[in-house]
């Protein structure tokens, strides 16, 4: 009799625990919120033949080549945990060779990109011409750009984050960085 009573109590407990209107649904993973400061800029200029305004968050490192300083720069993005590889070239080939090379580098990301938006930069008064590319999707580089005076000088920039390229989780950082990059290319000047 005691065994029947224990069996009934267990059966009632199991049936009671299966009831209820609440259905639990697993939650998707979340990402850390970044608290980034307001955008502030300063004029970056050194011995190289260009200048531009850059975010106060960024740190510019000069790149050495054979123990000689070059006009290539590694621009560290601070709290955004990334880098801009900024290259300067005195053109010896026709302009089309450099533009085609830059476009080919953007095209390498077509496999992963959901879209590629480009913005033309034409500032005739400063002799600054180029294209700013925004690559959307899980790509290795969300931004690339090139600028030229169209006759003898050419610069290019490529942005990399030090993380797995997950567009959704990087979106707040990408949106913040885009404003800083646009300021950089809009204020770029040849010396």
The answer to whether residues 127 and 150 touch, using CB atoms and an 8 Å cutoff, is: yes
Q: What is the C-alpha separation between 155 and 188, in angstroms, rounded?
A: 10
Domain 41-190: CATH class, spelled out: alpha beta
CA atoms within 13 A on the CB side of 22: 3
Segments in 36-152 forming alpha helices (H): 95-107
Q: Using alpha carbons, select from 98, 111, 113, 101 the residue that is nearest to residue 143.
A: 113
Phi, psi (rounded to 5 degrees) for 21 = -90, -15
Place of tokens 């709290």: 79
* Ramachandran sector of residue 178 (left: φ over 0; alpha: ψ -120 to 50; beta: rest): alpha
Q: Which two tokens stand for residue 116?
A: 């590629």
Domains of the chain, residue spans:
41-190
The answer to whether residues 59 and 75 touch, using CB atoms and an 8 Å cutoff, is: yes
pLDDT tens string, the chain, 191 residues long: the values are 777 777 777 777 766 666 666 666 776 666 556 778 899 999 999 999 999 999 999 999 988 777 677 899 999 999 899 999 999 999 999 999 999 999 999 999 999 999 999 999 999 999 999 999 999 999 999 999 999 999 999 999 999 999 888 888 888 899 999 999 999 999 999 99
Q: Which two tokens stand for residue 54?
A: 């850059």
């Amino acid at each position: 009799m005691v065994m029947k009573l224990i069996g009934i109590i267990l059966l009632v407990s199991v049936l009671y625990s299966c009831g209820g209107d609440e259905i639990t649904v697993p939650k998707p993973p979340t990402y850390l919120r970044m608290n980034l400061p307001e955008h502030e800029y300063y004029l970056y200029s050194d011995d190289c033949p260009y200048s531009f305004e850059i975010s106060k968050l960024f740190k510019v490192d000069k790149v050495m080549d054979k123990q000689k300083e070059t006009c290539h720069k590694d621009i560290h993005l601070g709290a955004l945990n990334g880098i801009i590889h900024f290259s300067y070239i005195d053109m010896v080939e026709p302009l089309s060779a450099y533009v085609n090379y830059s476009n080919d580098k953007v095209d390498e990301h077509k496999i992963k990109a959901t879209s590629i938006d480009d913005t033309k930069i034409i500032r005739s008064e400063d002799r600054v011409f180029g294209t700013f590319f925004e690559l959307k999707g899980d790509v290795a580089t969300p931004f690339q750009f090139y600028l030229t005076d169209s006759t003898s000088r050419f610069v290019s920039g490529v942005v990399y984050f030090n993380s797995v390229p997950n567009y959704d989780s990087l979106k707040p950082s990408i949106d913040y960085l885009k404003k800083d990059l646009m300021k950089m290319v809009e204020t770029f000047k040849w010396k």
